[in-house]
Amino acid sequence: MTLRPTDRPAAATPDTRDGDRRESGDPPADGSVRDPTVPEGETDADEGAGPVASPVAGADRFVAAVAVDGEVLFAGPSVPAVLGVERAALVGENLLDRVHPNDREPVSDALSAVATDRVVTHRIRRANGGFVWVESVVDEELAPEFGGRVVTARRVDSEATFPERFREFLEYGTDLVTVVDADGRVRYESPSVEEVLGYERGSTVGRSPLGYVHPDDRERVTERFYRALNDPDATPTMEYRYRTADGDWVWLESRTRSLPADTAVGRLLINSRDVSERKARERRLTDRNERLDRFASIVSHDLRNPLSVIRASMEMAKLKGDTEPLERGERAADRIDQLVSELLTLARQGSGIDEPTEFALGGVAREAWETAGSADATLVVGADARVRGDRGRLRQVFENLYRNATEHAASDAGADSGPTGADAAAPSTDGGEDDPLTVVVTATDGGFLVADDGPGIDPTHREAVFDPGFTTREDGTGYGLDIVREVVESHGWTVELRGDGADPTCPDAVTVPDGACFVVSGPGPDAAESGAPWIDG
């Protein structure tokens, strides 16, 4: 509410000090009230209206006499031009019923003399149901001719005379307010466009907002957008991706509302807010549910086979007194333990990176070799790197890749990695079965790699090695490399096979074997967002 004593009409009472002299703005001696929007000398032809001037085209103000309780006692001839209501229809109506509920109290205070100032900026309802901003000047004294106060209401530009508390909402609010015209082009955008989207205020005016919508969302948004433009009763809510000034995409949730047909500012009002964080949470929740579904499916299906083996082995041992079935049962129990362990690991990957720390790549690689390396193989750590990430999970990446390499090297025909993953290896061409395996870990120009001089990856299986459940081994689970991919991607990095678009540059002193080679790529400390994982090779 803005209260300021300007343009105040003089009291509609006789001046007792000067006899029959009137101040400018006082009603005529016959008790009539002249509308200040009408030039002197023009008369109103409405029956019973008295000698009042007639309205002119484009009038932006009107005069009314209003009782202290809000009843309209007199309506000036410009009322229809401003409110779209006939004068006779307004007389007898409670003016406060037409005032916007949020503005009703200050108007009531001004009428009943509770307020000390008499100028109130407020919204008043037009005949079409929309609201118009007006500045009402309420006379301090009652007009004895009417038993109420003379009110002069002037239509105002809400952008220029908006109450301060509402202007601050537009300036500092995070919601984006957009007005488009009948052609679907932006007429106005609130200042928050700079904070939400990065565009300079006014730079998008005159353009269609559809040009900034993500191509995958544009058809759906276009249909709803034009439906809202053409149907005043349509109020669709849309979620879509919108291009920012720097070329990124944010998720917006927009609610639309049609403006009255005679509104000068535009046809459609759109309130939008950035819901990118919420969409990211939803994506994480969806991923977690998919993992849990995968876990439940495998537990219900894959574990039944080894359990059946255990039961049959136990029964056979009881009947024959033979321990060999018990050994098969023990192997089946080991497989169950392996499946449960790896599936639980997969299910936990959706929890994100907890408290990332900085550490040396070579240290984690050597620690993982102590638990997952083979006595028949050799680990070579080349160039070292500083890494920021989840040390425990990256150690698990190395352990799975080591097991993948050693078990493939031990296989004559190439098979699944057993407890660690779903690789398929081709027969060795580098030597006999007794050749020792060498596993190399080294930093690269964009991350690090783990390579071995074993048989490598069968070309027919290269595209499937990271797929969950893929295996060529009879006793494999097919989840080891899936775990590797999950951990790497949870850091915001990527993992690929060398030759699949991932051919890194390595230090000259490091020789990379020709077998299976897994390349992990991630941003450096300068390119990563604040607090995000990085690899500094």
Sequence ranges of the domains in the chain:
61-155, 164-276, 280-342, 353-409+434-536
The answer to whether residues 386 and 361 touch, using CB atoms and an 8 Å cutoff, is yes
The CATH architecture assigned to 61-155 reads 2-Layer Sandwich (3.30)
Distance from C-alpha of 218 to C-alpha of 75, rounded to nearest angstrom: 50
Collect all residues with Cβ–Cβ distance below 8 Å to 432 and sequence separation of at least 6. none
Q: Encode 364-403: b = buried (16+ Cβ within 10 Å), e = exposed.
A: bbeebbeebbbeebebebbbbbebbbbbebbbbbbbbbbb
- Specify the DSSP class assigned to residue 212: G
pLDDT, one tens digit for every residue, the chain (537 residues): 333 333 333 333 333 333 333 333 344 444 444 444 443 433 443 433 333 344 445 578 999 999 989 999 999 999 999 999 999 999 999 999 999 887 888 888 888 876 666 788 888 998 888 888 888 999 888 888 888 899 999 987 655 544 455 555 566 667 888 989 888 888 888 888 888 899 987 788 888 999 999 999 999 999 999 999 888 888 889 999 999 999 999 999 999 988 877 666 678 889 999 999 889 888 878 877 776 776 666 665 556 666 777 777 777 777 777 767 677 667 667 667 666 666 666 555 555 566 789 999 999 999 989 878 888 899 999 999 999 998 888 988 998 899 888 877 766 434 333 333 333 333 333 444 457 899 999 999 889 999 999 888 888 878 878 876 565 555 555 667 888 888 898 899 999 988 766 667 777 668 888 888 999 999 999 998 888 899 997
Distance from C-alpha of 103 to C-alpha of 38, rounded to nearest angstrom: 28
- Whole-prediction pTM: 0.42
CA dihedral 278, 283, 288, 292 (to 10 degrees): 130
Domain 164-276 has CATH 3.30.1130.10: no
Quick one: which of 409, 423, 513, 510 has its CA closest to 454?
Answer: 409
**Judging by beta carbons within 10 Å of its beta carbon (0-12, 13-18, 19+), is residue 509 exposed, middle or buried?**
exposed
pLDDT of 304 reads: 63
Q: Tokens at residue 182, please? A: 């009948």
Q: What is the pLDDT of residues 228-261, one digit of tens each?
A: 988 888 888 999 999 999 999 999 999 998 887 7
**Identity of the amino acid at 389:** G
Collect all residues with Cβ–Cβ distance below 8 Å to 239 and sequence separation of at least 6. 251, 252, 253, 254, 275, 279
Q: Which secondary-structure segment (H or E) carries 165?
A: helix 164-172
For residue 417, give Cα distances in angstroms to 103, 362, 449. Answer: 73, 23, 18
The answer to whether residues 472 and 416 touch, using CB atoms and an 8 Å cutoff, is yes
Q: Render 406-427 in DSSP notation, one character per residue.
A: HHHHT-SS----TTS----BPP
Q: Does this chain's domain 61-155 share its CATH topology with 164-276?
A: yes
Distance from C-alpha of 449 to C-alpha of 518, rounded to nearest angstrom: 6
Strands 377-381 and 437-443: parallel
∠458-467-280 over CA atoms, to 5°?
145
pLDDT of 295 reads: 64
Q: Is the dihedral of CA 373, 375, 381, 386 positive or negative?
A: positive
To the nearest 10 degrees (0 to 180), the angle between helices 480-490 and 391-409 is 150
To the nearest 10 degrees (0 to 180), the angle between helices 324-348 and 276-301 is 170
pLDDT of 306 reads: 67
Q: What's the CATH code, domain 353-409+434-536?
A: 3.30.565.10
pLDDT of 369 reads: 92
